[in-house]
Structures are given as structure tokens and as C-alpha cells.
Amino acid sequence: MSFSSIIEGKPQTLQQVAMQLKGLALKADKHMQEHVYLGAKHPVALYSIGTLNNVLFGIQVTEKYCVLYLHYTDVADTMSLKIEGGEGNHAKHIKLTGITPELEAELKQVMKNIVKASKN
């Protein structure tokens, strides 16, 4: 399964958001790996470093928004992102329908903060 299966048939604007998020995730660390899985309702791309179990980010696209899953939010600085959901070790998430240049810069920094937190 490939990343294209995640965005296939989704609204064009959400496809663009997903591709931006993929680019940010892959650039967060030179060792970042992408793995795409068939989710319960929608496929999901998971981004990890080292082992498949060390997931840092996830991307899922619905008909209404693009969901960015973030791990290590309990120890990484998430700046001013409005993160939702998840208890304990579960991933938190943010729902996106677009990415401004300011938000892109913040997401890039938060992803770097998560990479750093995952290595501690």
C-alpha cells in the first residue's frame, strides 16, 4: 500500500494538505521511515525512526479533513498547536483543512521537537 492510496478520491485541497504533511514528516529527520496501513475506516501513514514501533507521526485523510497524529506530546513542546484527544500514551491529533505558511513553520518545529523528545 502506498501514500497515494491515502489521498486517492479525496478532495483536492485535502490531498494537498496531506502531501505537505508528508513532506514535513519526512524532513523532520533523515532516518524517518514511512509505512502505510489499512485503517479501520481510512488508510493511515505512520512515520517512525529506528523501529516500526517508534511511531512519531501519522497522517490520515477523511472526506472533511486531514488528521495529523502526534506522539510524544507529553514531553515535546507543541507550541500553540490546538491538539485534541488521546489519553496517556495514545497519540494526540490535529484536524487540518489547510496549512498557512505560519502553521507550516510551527508544524515543522513541533515535528523537530517530537523527534528530539523521542530520542531522549
* pLDDT tens figures, 21-76: 999 999 999 999 999 998 778 899 999 999 989 999 999 999 999 999 999 999 99
Q: Distance between CA atoms of 53 and 50, rounded to whole angstroms?
A: 8
For the cut 70, the answer to whether the pLDDT of residue 86 exceeds it is no
Which of 95, 36, 98 lies closest to 70, judged by CA? Answer: 95
Give percent above pLDDT 90 in the chain: 82
Domains in the chain and their CATH numbers?
A: 4-118 (3.90.1150)
- The whole model's pTM is what? 0.93
Residues 92/69, Cβ–Cβ less than 8 Å = yes
pLDDT bin (cut points 50, 70, 90) of residue 88 is: low
> Which residue, chain included where needed, has cell 479525496?
10
